Amino acid sequence: MAFDALVSKKTGALALIAAAGMTLTPIPADARPAAPTGRQTTAPARQSPSGLSALAWMVADADTGRVLASKNSHRKLAPASTLKTLFAVTVLPKFSADRVRQVSASDLSGLGAGSSVVGVHQGSRYTVADLWRGVFLRSGNDAVHVLAAMNGGWSTTAREMQQTANRLGARDTTVKSPDGYDTPGQVSSAFDLTVFARAGLANEEFARYCSTIRATFPATGGAAVQIENTNRLLVGSHGMARYPGIIGVKNGYTSKAGNTLIAAARRNGHTLIATVLNPQSGALNGVYKEAGTLLDWGFNRLTHAEPVGRSDSTDDGS
């Protein structure tokens, strides 16, 4: 897959970092440049991305952690299912892909009204890989509930996700519902969601799941059904072309959050992440079009744009 080259370079080193109990360096704040070193020079004027209506957005270099451009990147907003990236970063490493779970009634208890589901049924047996495909492709809150039950329960998983966010330096995030379902007090930011995506993409399994377009999922009676990723920029569907070099990551929608999207793409040896929260234009596929605009802008300017910040910059709390 397109992401294999990045994984082969990064996964081993990042696994050693995780094993040593160290943390990934957070992506920098959007409005304060890194502290200058050596001779100071005047940075050239930069043209920012235009035509964006989202309440908050960011485009960053996943390889270096540089923020290329952003707006309101620390504004606390409802994340919808993009919060599943933090769920995956927290829980995915804990269970082998071939482990089997027979779903109980308690596994599915508390599933929110109107939740997106992949079709997990009480009494049926699923591999962990099945459940993760349900999470990433269909944004299945039912699959999240089962994995959270395996992880010690809903509250335990929310608490561990909060700990993971804190460890990654994602200070805008408050976790109340691991599946991203609208819950009072649950917020994240474009900055934090970009951090979660960057951490996730360093994991080979995460990278594979989030880039999967179609897969089979167990159905009742031993049959299987085909499921398709709901990320239109990845699939190329519902009037959107597949974005060149796209490798994921996660889309979401709730009535409170509006449309949300974390999109990552790789071209010419560079991986960029664009995070878009709640576009206001009302345009069809607006969240996908605005993410595509950010990725286009980033790839066009990556080699010569002056970055807004680096990983040693100071968080301005914007």
Active site includes 84?
A: yes
Give dist(CA 244, CA 234) in Å, integer.
9
| Tokens 């699939």, residue located | 235
Q: How far is CA 8 from the centre of its chain?
A: 20
Side chain identity, residue 191: F
CA distance 210 to 2: 12
Q: In angstroms, rounded to a whole number, what is the distance separating the alpha carbons of residues 80 and 255?
A: 9
Query: What is the end-to-end Cα distance of the chain in Å, rounded?
Result: 37
DSSP class of residue 309 equals: B
Question: Quick check: helix, strand or coil at residue 166?
Answer: helix
Contact indicator for 94, 151 with CB cutoff of 8 Å:
yes
* Whole-angstrom distance, CA of residue 140 vs CA of residue 129: 13
| Strands lying side by side in the sheet with 246-254 | 67-71, 56-61, 270-277, 258-267, 246-254
Per the residue annotation, which of 73, 115, 139, 211 is the catalytic one? 139
Strands 270-277 and 56-61: antiparallel
Residues contacting residue 48 through CB under 8 Å, at least 6 positions apart = 69
The residue type of 156 is T
Contact 66, 28 (CB under 8 A): yes
309 CB-side CA count, 13 A: 23
List 71, 84, 250, 289, catalytic entry: 84
Q: Can you tell me which residue has the tokens 């927290």?
A: 90
Instruction: Given the residues 70, 73, 81, 189, select the one marked as catalytic.
Output: 81
Active site residues: 81, 84, 139
